[in-house]
Amino acid sequence: AKCCSKAVVFSVPSYACQRRTTLDNHNTILTDALSLLAEKAELSEEDGRGVAFRRAAAVLKCLPQPVTNMMQLRGLPCLGEHSFRVIKDILENGTSSEVESTQQSERYKALKVLTGIFGVGAKTADRWIRAGIHNLRQLQTSGQTLNQAQRAGLQHYDDLNLPVTKAEADAIGEIVEEAVVSVLPDAQITLIGGFRRGKLTGHDVDLLITHPDEGKEVGLMPKVVSWLQSKGFLLYQKTTINSYLESEEGPRRPSSNMDRFERCFSIFKLRHLSREDRGESESGCRLWRAVRVDLVVSPISQFAFALLGWTGSKLFERELRRWAGHEKAMSLGSHALYDNRQSRYLRATSEEEIFAHLGLEYIPPSERNA
Ligand code: CTP
Ligand code: MN
Ligand code: MN
Ligand code: MN
């Protein structure tokens, strides 16, 4: 049937992993508003509501042009009543009253400041706010006990809330490469996370390490961390060896080689690349900055799953797992893909093969920015 509306009507598949979402977002005003409401929900531990807003924002991110008329949204998936109300408010008034009042709310501002500390999640922030702590100064004088991560987070608060550039990510990559190659010569490192998706800045640097010979990677992380520590590159680190124990999202049955998954959440001390690049004066500025870095070691047999699982975006990953479970009766994790009907693991040596197992068209990293 021909549509009688003058407005362009969009058509979008319902799972984000079926869509191509580049960084070229034509609806940033709408998606920023919905993302803020998602964040507010997540900070209030209303995860279901948070996901609903993330899904709504993701649908708008993949549209080929700006939405100007509510009629254009007819038939689009994932847009609930609440999201419609927010979009309508913005299209009619130029701004969302709910977003405005959230931004002005003392509770939201306090949650943002406190969860901006590395190592502080929504639960801790809420507990502190109930104890009357709304900012960093109040936290510092409160006598609250901070764990090691939180102390490091507070100490490097400003740096860690400053975006990391691609040039800084590459510089971190080179340092980690030197560390890795000096303890295990043929090991390979890959930039993952947002930078692999083509983002120009990020909140951290994510790196995946593997070795072409299965088993050679075992025990690599502690050696890499020791090397980095001995050279003074680490301001903080926490290394985990058996990560499957704490992840609720992996395949139901852990395979024996899942025990090998090693990762490290760290804060690097990075020498400034060049003062001119950063527009700083010669005098009175520090020679280094703190940067959050996540390192993951994967055996080569799980490399494709680790690569897919750590490239993101977070919503894209969530949607891939939902697609696998709901549409294909499969369990997808960062280690493996399990077919519940065949009662077996499906092997893959590339991301392309994983998409094929899942019956999905291949989406390259630059189009996973849902
Ligand atoms: N991830 C994960 N387990 C964690 C943290 C992150 O599996 N404990 C995965 C996320 O699902 C995501 C990827 O690692 O796919 C990168 O996460 P993160 O660094 O938080 O996000 P980015 O997309 O890299 O965004 P940013 O640029 O803000 O860092
Ligand atoms: Mn475009
Ligand atoms: Mn990242
Ligand atoms: Mn990360």
* Token code pair at residue 35: 């993302």
Please tell me the predicted confidence (pLDDT) of residue 274. 76
- ipTM rounded to 2 decimals: 0.95
> In the predicted model, is pLDDT for residue 281 greater than 70?
no
In 46-191, which ranges are continuous DSSP H helix?
47-61, 81-93, 97-104, 106-115, 122-130, 136-140, 148-155, 157-160, 166-183
Say how far apart CA 340 and CA 330 lie, in whole Å: 5
DSSP letters for 240-302: ES-GGGG-SSS-SS--GGGGG-EEEEEEEEEE-S-TTTTT--SSS--SEEEEEEEEEE--GGG
Instruction: Give the Å distance between the CA of 64 and the centre of ligand 2.
Output: 5
Burial category of 300 from C-beta neighbours within 10 Å (exposed 0-12, middle 13-18, buried 19 and up): middle
Catalytic sites, residue numbers: 204, 206, 294
Residue at token pair 């010569």: 185
Instruction: Give the Å distance between the CA of 281 and the centre of ligand 4.
Output: 31
Please tell me the predicted confidence (pLDDT) of residue 223. 97
Please tell me the predicted confidence (pLDDT) of residue 283. 66
Say how far apart CA 42 and CA 76 lie, in whole Å: 24
Closest listed residue to residue 38, CA positions, set 69, 76, 78, 66? 78
> In the predicted model, is pLDDT for residue 81 greater than 80?
yes
Alpha carbon nearest to ligand 1 atom 18, residue: 193
Question: In 152-190, which positions are buried (b, 16+ CB within 10 angstroms) versus exposed (e)?
Answer: bbbbbbebbeeebbbebbebbbebbeebbeebbeebbbb
Segment 13-36, tens digit of pLDDT: 999 999 999 999 999 999 999 999
Please tell me the predicted confidence (pLDDT) of residue 278. 60
Confidence of residue 261 (pLDDT cuts 50, 70, 90): confident
Say how far apart CA 366 and CA 142 lie, in whole Å: 45
**Ligand (nearest to CA of 314):** 1
313 three-class SS? coil
Pocket of ligand 1, beta carbon within 6 A? 193-194, 199, 202-204, 206, 309-310, 312-314, 317, 334
Alpha carbon nearest to ligand 1 atom 16, residue: 193
Cα torsion for 114, 117, 123, 124, to the nearest 10°?
Answer: -80
Please tell me the predicted confidence (pLDDT) of residue 1. 41
Instruction: Give the Å distance between the CA of 96 and the centre of ligand 3.
Output: 29
Alpha carbon nearest to ligand 1 atom 14, residue: 310
> In the predicted model, is pLDDT for residue 48 greater than 70?
yes
Segment 182-235, tens digit of pLDDT: 999 999 999 999 999 999 999 999 999 999 999 999 999 999 999 999 999 999
For the range 65-70, what are the long-range contacts, defined as Cβ-Cβ under 8 Å and sequence gap of 24 or more? 65/8, 65/26, 66/26, 66/27, 67/27, 67/30, 67/91, 68/7, 69/5, 69/7
